[in-house]
Amino acid sequence: MAYNGEGHKFFCINCGKESIPIFRKAGKEKEKFMEEYKEYMADHPNAGIVQMDTVYNDVSNGPFVQTFKFVRFPFFFALFHQTKTSADMVAGVNTLESILGHDLFNEHVEVLLTDRGGEFSAADNLEYRPDGTRRTRVFYCD
């Protein structure tokens, strides 16, 4: 998924089709759609956006590479995983945060954009640190 720089349109990196990010609030709160996302971005126009995805040759056997593309500047980070579970993806976000440090992570990973793959289903654990503090906001594409 890529931001086209005009308004709030996003395009799937894989197929090039326009996508609508969906904000998944943590816990039992309902998913929020494009209108809430636009409101968030209007209130936070300088939010650091990172696109997160998983790359693989064989969907069931791996290996798997979790990717992080920083939209604001040309930086791409990837982590190797033997399995493609939601726990692996949370561990990847934890690793990214430990490398960047708390302050840089807060500044540059305010928003995580990803697809609706099952490996990204642990939105609560992606959005919140183990101590319960918020670290990012997760938006999913349709």
Q: What is the pLDDT of residues 16-38, one digit of tens each?
A: 555 555 444 444 344 445 556 67
Specify the DSSP class assigned to residue 17: -
Angle at 112 between CA 25 and CA 77, to 5 degrees: 155
Helices and strands: H and E segment counts in the chain:
4, 10
Specify the DSSP class assigned to residue 49: E
Q: What is the pLDDT of residue 114?
A: 83
Contacts of residue 27, defined as CB under 8 A and 6 or more positions apart, other chains included, come to: 124
Q: What is the mean pLDDT of residues 77-105?
A: 95
- Residue 93 carries which side chain, given as an amino acid letter? V
Q: What is the pLDDT of residues 106-115, one digit of tens each?
A: 999 999 888 8
Cβ-in-10-Å burial (0-12, 13-18, 19+) of 20 comes to middle
Q: What is the pLDDT of residue 116?
A: 76
CA 95 to chain centre: 14
* Total Cβ atoms within 10 A of residue 68: 21
Structure-model confidence comparison of residues 15 and 88, the more confident one: 88
φ/ψ of 125, rounded to 5, equals -75, -25
